Amino acid sequence: MNKKKKRSSFTGSIGFVLAAAGSAVGLGNIWRFPYLAAKNGGGIFLLTYLILVLTFGFTMLTTEVGIGRKTRQSPLTAYRFIHPKWGFIGLFACLVPSIILPYYAAIGGWVLKYLTAFVTMQGSAAAADGYFTGFITAQYAPIVFGLLFMLMTSACVYMGVDKGIEGISKILMPILLVLVIGIALFSLTLTHTDEDGTVRTGLQGLAVYVIPNFSGMTISKLFGVFIDALGQLFYSISVAMGIMVAYGSYVPKDAKMSSSINQIELFDTGVAFIAGMMIIPAVFTFMGSEGLAASGPSLMFVSLPKVFEAMGGVGTIVGIVFFLVVTFAALTSCISILEAVVSSFMDQFKMSRKKATILASILAAIISVIVCLGYNVLYFEVTLPNGSVAQILDIMDYISNNLFMPLVALFTCILIGWVVGPNYVIDEVEHGGHKMGRKTLYIVMVRFIAPILLTLLLLRSTGLLAVFGL
């Protein structure tokens, strides 16, 4: 009982929802969601994603938050608390954020660099060919910006759950939402005329984004859309990273869990959609359909600066606001990733928050430096099982996101669906007399459908489905 009394907690449901939404609204929503939507037939992808959010996403989010609140444990120790023989899930659930944290901090440093460039009126230089490559291959600058971003993250976690994580989320998330909506609305007003007289508008870009495009759509491609949307959910709702287990352990027992989960679903899906509305119309207007083929770093750090440059004088202001949004999104996500590691250190090794934060941050900073050096003195290339060519950052991303995360989710479904039974989580959701919506859906998903989907995702990630042309 003493442990439970000493454990930190959010001050209420709003704090938890904003912190969880802050974790979910990260770089994956901003640089991956718009690209996947444009690549996968616009409205087709959006509809598929929405269905998965309300079914698979709801199931995984409910399960992890329920595990956290019921056990009052970190991801490393929670699964062992549920069943001694299934503690290995906790090891993987702690490894995922431990692997993600260093390279996320490095990317956060890239974001800070571009924000600095636009604030200091160097947006034109940032839009020049070779600027991004020149920066990440430099030996010292990426390390400095990456460590600065890591320091910002550590400071927030060091302050604790209520004053640090919740306090920062309550400030940053409303600002982020306002800025994202503002840029999205501005993107719809854009117009550009090419040298050949072709006129493109932001509204046309919106149509590309939201109207389903069935041209050339085959069963194989439709399956690809489904798998891409499923994979995006891991980025979007922060499941299988240990984050929601950690955050769930801080949720007060009198909070209505089902309402909080519904709000997180709504907030995350809304921001992901608006992020697409912010980026796709702007890129389409100035770069056409070809510009939408960019994803990840090339979209954010190469294509978008060129779009801002093409806007003229107002482009600098838009660039500042955009990279401020991305900084906020990256920071709130990185805070949650670090917290998953810190809470695990605290519960497993009985460390204080301050010591755990310092230790986790130092370890992450060291590996982050190695990630940065992976683009210069430690540069090499290797082909991954999914066919992509990778460096150090890409390898870490593949191991954490394509292998460990689906495995964590799959074993979690087996544990809850078949070993201890769905009522283990359902009873926690209904604690205090609260009714659980979508209960039957949850039972069917966690026992049958989710494990099948996760198996397919794993097979796709390892390249095994390529044998069947999928």
Per the structure, the count of domains in the chain is 1
pLDDT for residue 81: 95
Neighbours of 312 (CB within 10 A): 8
Strand partners, 192: 200
pLDDT digits (tens, 9 = 90+) for 395-413: 999 999 989 999 999 999 9
Mean per-residue pLDDT for 32-45? Answer: 86
**Taking 70 as the threshold, does the pLDDT of residue 88 lie above it?**
yes
Whether 289 has a pLDDT exceeding 90, the answer reads no
Q: Does a structural domain hold residue 108?
A: yes
Q: Which pLDDT band holds residue 422 (cuts at 50, 70, 90)?
A: very high
> Do the domain assignments include residue 468?
no
> Is 389 part of a structural domain of the chain?
no
Q: What is the pLDDT of residue 2?
A: 40
Encode pLDDT of 301-330 as tens digits: 998 999 999 998 899 999 999 999 999 999
In which band, very low, low, confident or very high, does the pLDDT at 466 lie, cut at 50, 70 and 90? Answer: low
For range 140-158, the mean pLDDT: 97
pLDDT of residue 234: 86
Does a structural domain hold residue 424? yes
Helix axes 58-71, 257-291, angle to 10 degrees: 140
Which pLDDT score, from 0 to 100, does residue 35 have? 83
> Given this model, what pLDDT does residue 288 score?
87
250-260 pLDDT, tens per residue?
Answer: 999 888 999 99
pLDDT value for 432: 86
Locus of tokens 């938890």: 16
Note whether residue 460 is domain-resident.
Answer: no
Based on the number of CB atoms within 10 Å of its own CB, is 306 exposed (0-12), middle (13-18) or buried (19 or more)? middle
Q: Is the pLDDT of residue 3 over 50?
A: no
Higher pLDDT, 41 or 456: 456
Average pLDDT over residues 269-286: 90
User: Is 384 inside any structural domain?
Assistant: no
Greatest CA separation for the chain: 73
The answer to the question of residue 51 being in a domain is yes
> Is the pLDDT assigned to residue 261 strictly greater than 70?
yes
pLDDT the model gives residue 26: 84
- Reference 62, options 369, 452, 434; nearest CA is 434
In a domain, 14, yes or no: yes
In this prediction, what percent of the chain has a pLDDT beyond 70? 97
The residue-averaged pLDDT of 193-219 equals 89
Nearest CA among 65, 93, 74, 92 for reference residue 3: 74
CA distances from 127 to 79, 122, 299, 401 (A): 47, 9, 12, 30
- pLDDT tens-digit map of 437-455: 999 999 999 999 999 999 9
Residue scoring higher pLDDT (31 or 415): 415
State the residue range of the domain holding 421: 2-375+396-454
Please report the pLDDT score of residue 433 as a whole number: 87
Q: Which amino acid is at 180?
A: V
- CB-facing half-sphere around the CA of 211: CA atoms within 13 A: 8
Q: Which residue has the tokens 């205090």?
A: 432
For residues 381 and 326, what is the distance between their CA atoms, to the nearest angstrom? Answer: 28
Average pLDDT, the chain: 91
CATH assignment at residue 219: 1.10.4160.10
- Can you give the pLDDT at residue 214? 83
